[in-house]
Structure 1
Amino acid sequence: MVKVEIVEDKEGHASPYASPSSSRTSSTESLSSISSELSADESFYDRLTALVDIIPPTTRHNIASKASKTVSFVKNTGKVLGNVVWIVTTSALLVGLPLALSLEDEAKIVAQEKEIMAQQQGAQHMMAGSSYPPPPGSTQQSGQKAVVPPGF
């Protein structure tokens, strides 16, 4: 808050701006009533904008330039990072996805080939007679074959 003092002229000259003491008290009373009315109508934004006058212009300029440099740095960094993410994502989709699909197809083909080979080996064992090899130490006669039902 600002304190206002009236300084008397030492030489005693009458100033054209001087006023009688009765008007001084009445103006103080009217100012106090006006200031309370203004503070009620004053918003937070108005108070903040009034604080600008407290900071010297050179300091304000330095703060504003540093803030604008920071904002431009963040914007440029965001743009560069966005472009890098876009390039990596697009490359992964264009190169990685078809590669992954072809590897999956190749794995399916290999699994099918193994299954076919297993079926062929099973058929050869069935044609040979027994699906189980003879136990060790036993001699099988040439005329007799063991009959094993299918599925065992």
Structure 2
Amino acid sequence: MVKVEIVDEKDNSPYASGSSAAASSSESLSSVDSDISNDDETIFDRLAALVDIVPPTTRHKITSNLASAGSFLKTTGKVVGNIVWIVTTSALLVGLPLAVSLEDEAKVVAQEKEALEQQAGQQMLSSGLYPSPASSAPKPLVPPGF
């Protein structure tokens, strides 16, 4: 059976409201402070103790939101990585040979154009449309009457 007993807090409490009780207290604030501070406690321990401040339902919501955000980022990163891989390999396997063949074709077209220009130039020289280099020398300007 449980026995209920009423305890008068004014008599037993070291923090009694009377000034005489506070002055006559055997414990000072410095001794209480030194009891609380523990040299073995780290910052991580103090932060871990703060977990009790947040209610369990809120902690569960926060962890589930962080977990879902993390899985979303992981999935998105994987998809983006696969897309980048496909684009780069396609560019290397299709684009690079295509660029090389287009460059070779441009060189062949330029050589053919140069050959046609040379043929056209020789035909003009042989037909006489252009004067020969010896006859194209400038005549000295001599005033009439000399």
Q: How does 1:88-103 map to 2 (within 5 A)?
A: 88-103=87-102
TM-score (norm 1): 0.66
Task: Give % identity.
Answer: 57
Residue number in structure 2 paired with 1:15: none
Residue number in structure 1 paired with 2:107: 108
Residue number in structure 1 paired with 2:68: 69
Q: Structure 2 CA distance, aligned partners of 1:52 and 1:28?
A: 30
Residue number in structure 1 paired with 2:34: 33
Q: Structure 2 CA distance, aligned partners of 1:149 and 1:128?
A: 14
Letter in 1 for 2:7: D
Secondary structure at the aligned position of 1:26 is classed as coil
Q: CA deviation at 1:80?
A: 0.5
**Residues 77-122 of structure 1: per-residue CA shift (max 9 Å, x gap):** 0000000000011111111111111111111111100000000111
Q: CA deviation at 1:60?
A: 0.8
**Residues 37-56 of structure 1: per-residue CA shift (max 9 Å, x gap):** 42x65433222111100111
Residue number in structure 1 paired with 2:52: 53
Is 1:120–2:119 an aligned residue pair? Answer: yes
Structure 1 residues 128 and 51: CA distance shift in structure 2, 3 A: same
Letter in 1 for 2:63: A
Q: 1:9 aligns with which of 7, 27, 44?
A: 7
Letter in 2 for 1:111: A
Residue number in structure 1 paired with 2:80: 81
Q: Give me the CA root mean square deviation.
A: 2.8
The number of residue pairs the alignment matches comes to 118
Secondary structure at the aligned position of 2:25 is classed as helix
Letter in 1 for 2:115: I
Letter in 1 for 2:47: L
